């Protein structure tokens, strides 16, 4: 049985996410303040706080975005409430918040695209991927119940260097 690349890609991101979330602290502001990636940007800070809600999986990333927004726009706030993707989309399309965080794009079949366009006064709502957070790599190979996929193997699968579950480079 061959390993599917999209499953491998999800595993690669999951492994990377776990490693990256384990490093650092909650206080990643360089001396002198601010995120160097924001230096020199002309940010329109508006006049009122930005409100958002949605996916709880995105909460940690949104906290970092909120911190950097507050640094770039002194005295301004980005308030994000983790309430679930569905509630985020519903609150956005109802005009209750400035943007919604969701684990999937707006669904045209469910009318979300049309509701968002109405809320945006005829303009399309943007689906902007911001956070990657897959959970697991799965496999279904009859008779195999102890396959080991370490970070090196997952990376090689993602890069197309390992194409079969029984590749000798896969640890046992």
Torsion sign, CA atoms 159, 60, 63, 27: negative
Count helices and strands (H / E) in the chain: 5, 3
Q: Where are the domains of the chain?
A: 1-31+139-172, 34-134
Task: Kindly report the CATH class assigned to 34-134.
Answer: alpha beta
Residue-level pLDDT at 13: 36
pLDDT single digits (tens) 74-111: 889 999 999 999 999 999 999 999 999 998 899 999 99
Q: Which two tokens stand for residue 157?
A: 């699968």
Nearest-angstrom CA–CA distance, 86 and 11: 25
Using a 10 angstrom Cβ sphere, with 0-12 exposed, 13-18 middle and 19 or more buried, the burial of residue 21 is exposed
More confidently predicted of 83 and 158: 83
Q: What is the pLDDT of residue 81?
A: 96
pTM: 0.58
DSSP-derived letter for residue 2 is B
- What is the spatial distance between Cα 58 and Cα 74, in angstroms, rounded to a whole number? 24
Q: Residue 115 and residue 118: Cα distance in Å, rounded?
A: 5
81 contacts 56 by C-beta, under 8 angstroms: no
Which residues are CB-neighbours of 92 under 8 A, at least 6 positions away? 54, 99, 100, 116, 119, 125
**Terminal Cα-to-Cα distance of the chain (whole angstroms):** 17
Residue 4 scores a pLDDT above 50: no
- Longest Cα–Cα distance of the chain, Å, equals 62
pLDDT digits (tens, 9 = 90+) for 8-32: 343 333 333 322 222 233 444 444 4
């Amino acid at each position: 049985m061959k390993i599917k690349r999209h499953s491998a890609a999800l595993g690669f991101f999951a492994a990377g996410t776990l490693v990256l979330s384990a490093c650092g602290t909650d206080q990643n502001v360089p001396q002198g303040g601010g995120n160097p990636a924001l230096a020199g940007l002309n940010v329109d800070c508006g006049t009122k706080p930005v409100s958002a809600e949605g996916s709880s999986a995105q909460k940690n990333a949104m906290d970092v975005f909120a911190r950097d927004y507050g640094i770039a726009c002194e005295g301004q706030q980005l308030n994000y409430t983790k309430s679930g993707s569905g509630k985020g989309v519903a609150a956005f399309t109802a005009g209750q918040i400035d943007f919604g965080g969701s684990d999937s794009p707006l669904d045209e079949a469910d009318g979300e695209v049309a509701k968002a366009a109405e809320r945006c006064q005829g303009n399309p709502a943007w689906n902007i991927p911001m956070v990657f957070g897959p959970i697991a790599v799965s496999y279904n190979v009859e008779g195999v119940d102890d396959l080991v996929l370490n970070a090196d193997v997952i990376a090689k699968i993602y890069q197309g260097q390992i194409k079969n579950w029984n590749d000798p480079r896969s640890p046992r």
